[in-house]
Structure 1
Amino acid sequence: MPLQVSNYSWQQTSTAVFISVPLRGVSVRDADVFCTENYLKVNCPPFLFEVFLYAPIDDESSKAKIGNNTVVFTLHKKEAAMWETLSLSVDKEMMQKIREKSILQAQERAKEAMEAKAVARREDQKYTLNVMMKIEEEERKKIEDMKENERIKATKELEAWKECQRKAEELKIIQREEKLYHQEKQMEEKRKKLKHKCLTGNSASKNFATKGRNSGNIFFEKLKEDNIPAPRSVGSIKISFTPRVFPTALRESQVAEEEEWLHKQAEARRAMNTDIPELYDLKEEEKNPEWLKDKGNRLFATENYLAAINAYNLAIRLNNRIPLLYLNRAACHLKLKNLHKAIEDSSKALEILTPPVADNANARMKAHIRRGTAFCQLELYVEGDFPNPGIEPVSHALQEDSLPLSHQSYSQRNSSH
C-alpha cells in the first residue's frame, strides 16, 4: 500500500499556487504525474501524493520540476483570487467521482490530441507532396527550357552554315563566269590581231602565204590550249584491306595460355584496387544499403567505430539520400573525436530531412543534438545553441529535469488511485 505524503508545503499569489512535495529518491524516470483542472497526483513508489484543488487551474500552462528529492509545482489559477485552503474536504465517494472524472477528461484530451496529430500528419504529408511536385515541375520546366534553348541555338547555327554555303557557291559561280568572260575577251583580241596581220601584206607571195599559214596554225594551237580543261582537284582514296587469317593447328594453339594470362591480369587488377569497392564485384548483400546500415550498427555496438564508418561509407556511395546513414556516421565520428566530420554529417542529414515535418522530427532532433555536441566540444557554444538550464514549459519533452503535467499517459498511472 502506498505511503501518503502529508508533509508538503504550499504558497500562493492571486494568480499562481506553488507546492513543494518532498519525495525521497524521486527521479523523472520513476515519477508519474497526473494533473487536471481540479485534481493533482504524484505517484512515485512507494510514495503517493494527491490533492483535490480548491479551485480550477490551467493545467496546460502549469509546470513541474523534479530534483533534489523534491517535486516543485507551479500551478496557474484560471481566476485571479486568493484560496482559503489548498485542498477541498470531501468524502471518499466524492474523491472517487473526481478521480473518475479526471481520468475521463484525460482520455478525451488524449483522443483529441491523437486526432489532431493525425490531421497534422496528413497536412504535413500533403504539404511535402506539394513541395516535391513543385520541385519536380520546376526541374522539368528547367529541362524543357534548356532543350528549347539548345534547339533554337542549333537551328540558328544550321541556318548560318547554310547561308555561308550558299554565299560561297554564289561567289564560286561569279568567279567562274568572270574567268570565262576574260578568256573569251582575250581570245577575241588575239583573233583581231591575227586578222589584221593577214590583211596588211603588200604581196601574195608564197613566203607570205606560208607565213600566213604558220600564223593560222599558231592561232589554232592557241585556241586548243585555251580549250584544255583544268586539272582535277586533289583528293584521297580510302582503301580497306581484308584481314588475313593464319590457321593454326590444334597442337600448336596457345589459347589456353592466353586465357590463363588474362585471368592473372584481372586478379592482379582486383588485388590492386581492393581499397575502392566500386572497382571490384560486390556480393549480393553488400549491394543493399539497409544491410550495410545494420552491419554498421552492429559494429558500433561492439565499439569498432572505424569498421562501422567503412560500412556507412559504402552504404552512402550506394545511396546518398538516406539521412540515418549520415546520423550514424556522425555518432561514430563523435566517439573518435572527429568533430568537424561529425558536424558535416549532421548538417548533411538536416539538409536531406527537408521540409521539416512531424514524421522526421525525431531524426532532426538527433542531428541537432550531435551537431551541437560537436560544436560544444570545440568550445563553439554559440553555434552549439544548447538551451539554458532551468524550469521549462510542461510541453518541453527534451529536458531531463522537466516533466509534462497534462500529457502523461494515463495507462501508466495507478488505476487504484
Structure 2
Amino acid sequence: MPLQVSDYSWQQTKTAVFLSLPLKGVCVRDTDVFCTENYLKVNFPPFLFEAFLYAPIDDESSKAKIGNDTIVFTLYKKEAAMWETLSVTGVDKETMQRIREKSILQAQERAKEATEAKAAAKREDQKYALSVMMKIEEEERKKIEDMKENERIKATKELEAWKEYQRKAEEHKKIQREEKLCQKEKQIKEERKKLKYKSLTRNSASRNLAPKGRNSENIFTEKLKEDSIPAPRSVGSIKINFTPRVFPTALRESQVAEEEEWLHKQAEARRAMNTDIAELCDLKEEEKNPEWLKDKGNKLFATENYLAAINAYNLAIRLNNKMPLLYLNRAACHLKLKNLHKAIEDSSKALELLMPPVTDNANARMKAHVRRGTAFCQLELYVEGLQDYEAALKIDPSNKIVQIDAEKIRNVIQGTELKS
C-alpha cells in the first residue's frame, strides 16, 4: 500500500508554478514522474504523490529537478493567471479516475504521434541519404564512363599510330628489297656483258688461227677424230653434302634475309636479361629464369588462376622484355579478366616482337591477331577486329574456327550498317 505524500510547498507567478516535494532518499533511477496538462504524479516507492491541477499547464516545457531529498517542479501555465489552489478541491473518486485515464490516453496519443513523427523524420532522412548516394553513384559512374571513353580514345590513337608505324616500316623494307633486286639485276647484266665479250674475243681468235693448206687440215681432222672417242667411265660413289637449314622450307622457297633476322632477334632475346631488380634477392635460382616463369604462368592459366598467371608473366617480362610469347600469354589472361585495353597492348607488343614474319613465328602471329581482334570486338570496334581476323586468315587460311568468327563479325558489321 503506497504512502500518500501530503507534505509539500508551492509558489506561483502569473506564468509559472514552483512545487517543492520532499522525499527522503529520492534519486532519478528509482523515481517515476508522470505529467500531463491537468495531472501530475510522482511514484517513489513506497511514496506516491498525485495532484489534479487547478488549470492546464504546458507539460512539454515544464521541468523537474531531483536531488538533495527533494523534487522541485517548474510548471508553466498555459494561461497567465493566479491559481487559488494547486489542486482542485471537492473531486470524487470517479472524477479522479476519469482524469487519470484521460491523462494516460493523452500521454499514449502523444507518444504515438512522437513515434510517428520520428519514423517520418527517419524516412525522410533515409530518402535524402538515398538520393545523395544515388547522386554520388551517378557521378562516379559518369566519371568511370568518361575514363573508359578516354582510355578507348587513347588506345585507338595509339593503335592508329602503331599501324602507321608498321605501314612505314613495311614500305621502308619493301624499298630496301627493291633496291637489292635492282643491284642484283645490274650485276647480272654486267656479268652477261662480260661473258658475251669473252665469247666474241674467243671467236675472233679462232678465226685468226685457222690452218692453211691441205696437209695441215688432214692432221687436225685426224686428231679431232681421235679426240672425239670418249674414254670408258670409271665406277665410283659420289658423296653429297646438303647445306644445314634451320627452317623447314626449301632454300628456293624461303626468305633467307628475314629468317636470318628472326634468328638473330631470337638469340638477342635469350641474352637480354635484366638482373637489376630488388626482388631477385628473395627468389630461387629457377624463379629467376623467364622460361621457368613462363611455364609457371601457363600452368596457372590452365587452372584459371589468371591474376597469379599475370604476376608470373609480369616478373618474366621484367627479367626479359624481348620474349614475344610472354606478352602473347599475358594478353590471353587479360582477355579472360576483361582487361580489354591491356589485351590489345600486349597483343600489339607481341606482334611487334614477332617481326619479320617467317614460318617459325606464323602460329604465334596468328594467335596475336585473333586475341587483339577479340578484344576489339568486345569493345564494339568491329571493323578493327575484322581486320585482325583477316590478317590471321592470311597466315592460316584453313583455320575453320577463325573463318567462322570472321564471318560472324562481318554479319554484325553489316547488321549495324543496315540499322544506321
TM-score, normalising length: structure 2? 0.43
Higher helix share: 2
Q: Which one has a bigger Cα radius of gyration?
A: 2
The alignment's TM-score, normalised by the length of structure 1, stands at 0.43
Greater RCO structure (CA 8 Å; 6+ sep) = 1
